[in-house]
Amino acid sequence: MTDRPTRPVEYWRFNVYHRVIHLLVLVSFFGSTISGMPLKYPHTGWARLLTRLQGGVAVMGIIHRISAIIIALYCLLHLVYIAHYVLVRKKKPWGPDTPVPSIKDFQDLWHNFLYFLGQGSRPLFDRFTYFEKFDYWAVFWGVPIIGLSGLVLWFPTFFSKFLPGFVINIAHIMHSDEALLAVGFIYIVHLFNTHIRFEKFPLNKVIFTGKETEEELRHERPLQWERLQAEPGRIEEMKVR
Amino acid sequence: MRTKRFLTILLCSILLLGCTPRPPTWPPSLARPAETSSWQVDIERFQHSAHGNLTCTDCHADIQPGEPTTPHPDPSRLTTEATALYDYQRCAACHPYEYAACTQGVHAGARANPSDIRPDQPAPTCGHCHNPHYVTKETRAELLTSVSETCGNCHPEAVKSYEHNYHGKAALLGRETTATCTDCHGAHTVLALYETSESLPACRRCHPAANDQFASYRIHAAATLNPDPHDPRATDFKLFFWVTLFFTCLVVGVLALFYTHTGLWFLRSLHERLRRGGPHEQQPQRGGPHD
């Protein structure tokens, strides 16, 4: 072990649970968008092509529903995780170790805009930056809207037993517009912010391996690093062995 | 190194997208061969059609003696539109069931009740929907596009809303089990289906568990603040307008904020990179103005 070349010191950022959930989100998002978007723009050539590649509208319906089941599954797993986090592990459900927004996030957004325009320096981030928190909340608000409206569209005869017919129309508008927002956000903003930008290109592996190098941690999340300096036991615990 | 790889991937994706072959049936051909006059018959196509074995006078019973030869005894007839002139009741001789069904529907009703007839649009008879000279047997897939084209000639707004509905979208993408105009409104017994009691049996043909509330779903929906006040769907259409407006604002608002954010970020990191030649952005400084 001693003669091995020195490996950069790494710290755990995401546990197995986080990484599995992210994979489920990734697979189900890809599946639901390739099978759903052609229906939003059926007049276009690319929609025809995607439909043919997947084997027709009926097959796309199956892919879409399998993705929906995966989404429902990770949604449930996540709610169980939150309950476990708060009730069993007795952790604080807000603060810098959670994606709950704080006033500093809005200040960071403003200062980051100023920094982009050449006014001032980059804001110092903690464990989760404001744009990472927004990624989280985008899914958190998107899943109920898309999920519930999708259920109405999946079982229209069941839901019309206790809801008027125009609710199906509204479900369609919600499902379609919210999906466009999700596609426009994830495939451009999320992909750029976490993977495409120069420092991370072509893929930021942290969400897949769970490990972050010390250099990355100090550079990207200086406030978290500072916080950890005050807790020597915690930082030892986080170190990758 | 990374920039080079990035540019290569970008170039390849653009090439791949640009070279993607378009499916041969796309776009579905809207244009039938142009007919310069409704009196002009392409005899070649006619003989290959389902009616190819008939003679002119089998259908055109009102042709006056000697008219098939030129000159026509009454040339003024030739200035009238052919579909409005030929005797559609003759179709009943070979198609009694279709003819009988047609007399039950709203097309026949509009013809019988001239107050309903719009002066610019005579109520349709057989020939308005079927081209008797060139009629051929169509597959279900062909029918899905040709039916909405035919109906769209007089009901363009209905076809537009149909194509915004799942049924129409699936038809455009080639799903044969989806419903086209005639599947709900009937091929010959054309019904408007304004009343839920009328539309429910139509829904139940594919959705056996449908009830009244299900049948009040708006397939021909619109999102507008100024719907026709006599339309029973007017309040629904106003509601759809507000829901659509809310979600459009949400989508545009969120994307505008974050696209600006991402765009400016990209320009800033490009600037830092070119200036420093390194992969990293400016190191955050403790004690800076924002601490």
Structure tokens at B221: 């929906």
Tell me phi and psi for residue A213, to 5 degrees. -75, 160
pLDDT of res. B13: 74
B161 in contact with chain A, both atoms CB, cutoff 8 A: no
So what's the ipTM on this one?
0.92
What is the distance in angstroms between the Cα of B244 and the nearest Cα belonging to chain A? Answer: 7
Most confident stretch, A114-118, B190-194, B252-256: B252-256
Residue B29 predicted with pLDDT over 50: no
Contact of B239 with chain A, judged by CB distance below 8 Å, is answered with yes
- Interface contact flag, B266 A222, Cβ < 8 Å: no
What are the residues facing A239 on neighbouring strands?
A11
Tokens 């981030």 map to which residue?
A: A125
- Give pLDDT tens digits for A39-78: 999 999 999 999 999 999 999 999 999 999 999 999 999 9
Q: Tell me whether B269 touches chain A (CB under 8 Å).
A: yes
Rounded to two decimals, what is the model's pTM? Answer: 0.84
pLDDT digits (tens, 9 = 90+) for A143-186: 999 999 999 999 999 999 999 999 999 999 999 999 999 999 99
Residues of chain B with C-beta less than 8 angstroms from the C-beta of A131: 261
Question: Could you give phi then psi for residue B5, rounded to 5 degrees?
Answer: -65, -40
Tell me the per-residue pLDDT of B44-57, one tens digit each, with 9 for 90 and over.
888 888 888 888 77
Residue type, A192: F
Reading the block at residue A182, the tokens are 């999700």
Cα–Cα distances in angstroms (integers) from residue B42 to residues B46, B49, B236, in the given order: 6, 11, 48
CA separation, residue A127 to residues A89, A136, A208, A225, B143 (Å)? 19, 13, 17, 8, 59
Query: Cis link prior to B24 (omega < 30° from 0)?
Result: no
Measure the CA–CA gap between A82 and A63, rounded to whole angstroms. 29
